[in-house]
Each structure stands twice: as structure tokens, then as C-alpha cells.
């Protein structure tokens, strides 16, 4: 992960912590509405199914350690430079967990071998909201 935390991600921490500490329809829905407003608005039935699935998943696993690790580990520059297999990094420009612009800038500077695609007007739920566009980019990348 290229993760560079954004101010937005910090503002979402209380929602994230309440979701992992007490996963319920209410806490998960609140977090997902904050994280993926485009998904919540574009297909409410699919969004509610996603919330239901997420609640079940969170209730089936011990989430007590999540607060300790709080998110993915950030790759250091040498790790990114050392990636030799083809990699496609894609994200929505409206991602709330980290700055996509900063992540792309870092990748271009440190690991230019990694291809980057930023989807305009998309957020964290871009795969659910824009599946055809994401699929086209993945197929194009795999064909190359």
C-alpha cells in the first residue's frame, strides 16, 4: 500500500473504531456511508447488502486487534522500487482514507514501473459504483 493518511481519514477514525469495537448494522452503515457515499447513493439495495455482509464478516472474526494495527502497512521506498512484476494501482480521486494524488505522485517518483489509474469522481466504492470502467482497465492491463 502506498498509504499517505489524509485529514479525511483521521476524521473517519471514530467511525472506524466504533465499527470494529461494536460491529452492528448502525455502526457499519455509518462508516460505509462516510467511506463510500457514492455507492450508498448509486445503488441502495446493493449498498445495504454490502453492509449486511460486512456486519456478518466483522461479527465472525476477532476484531480486538484491529485498533492496535489500525490499517494497512505502508511500503517503504525500497520495497516499492523492488517490485518487478507488473502492477496496476487504481483508486478513485475522491478516496477518503488517503490522498490519492499524493500516492500517485509518490509512485511516479519512487516506483515508475507501477502503472497508475485514477478514476475521476469516484471514491472508495469505485469497484461497486463503476464496475465496467474498472473491469476495462484491469482487462487492458492484463492484455498488455
CA distances from 78 to 94, 107, 109, 110 (A): 28, 12, 12, 8
Instruction: Tell me how far apart the alpha carbons of residues 66 and 74 are, in angstroms, rounded to a whole number.
Output: 16
Instruction: Tell me how far apart the alpha carbons of residues 30 and 40 are, in angstroms, rounded to a whole number.
Output: 11
Instruction: Tell me which residue of 45, 43, 12 sits closest to 30, measured CA to CA.
Output: 12
Range 72-96 average pLDDT: 91
Indicate whether 1 pLDDT > 60. Answer: no
Render pLDDT for 5-54 as a digit per residue (tens, 0 to 9).
555 666 677 777 777 778 899 999 998 899 889 899 999 999 999 999 99
pTM over 0.85: no
**Least confidently predicted of 3-7, 71-75, 101-105, 110-114:** 3-7
Amino acid at each position: 500500500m502506498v498509504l499517505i493518511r489524509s485529514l479525511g481519514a483521521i476524521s473517519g477514525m471514530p467511525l472506524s473504531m466504533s465499527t470494529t469495537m461494536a460491529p452492528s448494522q448502525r455502526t457499519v452503515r455509518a462508516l460505509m456511508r462516510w467511506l463510500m457515499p457514492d455507492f450508498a447513493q448509486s445503488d441502495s439495495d446493493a449498498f445495504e447488502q454490502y453492509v449486511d455482509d460486512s456486519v456478518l464478516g466483522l461479527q465472525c472474526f476477532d476484531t480486538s486487534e484491529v485498533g492496535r494495527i489500525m490499517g494497512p502497512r505502508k511500503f517503504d521506498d525500497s520495497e516499492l522500487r523492488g517490485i518487478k512484476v507488473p502492477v496496476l494501482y487504481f483508486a478513485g480521486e475522491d478516496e477518503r482514507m488517503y490522498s490519492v494524488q499524493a500516492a500517485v505522485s509518490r509512485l511516479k517518483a519512487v516506483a515508475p514501473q507501477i502503472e497508475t489509474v485514477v478514476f475521476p469522481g469516484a471514491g472508495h466504492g469505485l469497484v461497486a459504483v463503476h464496475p465496467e470502467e474498472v473491469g476495462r482497465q484491469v482487462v487492458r492491463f492484463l492484455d498488455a
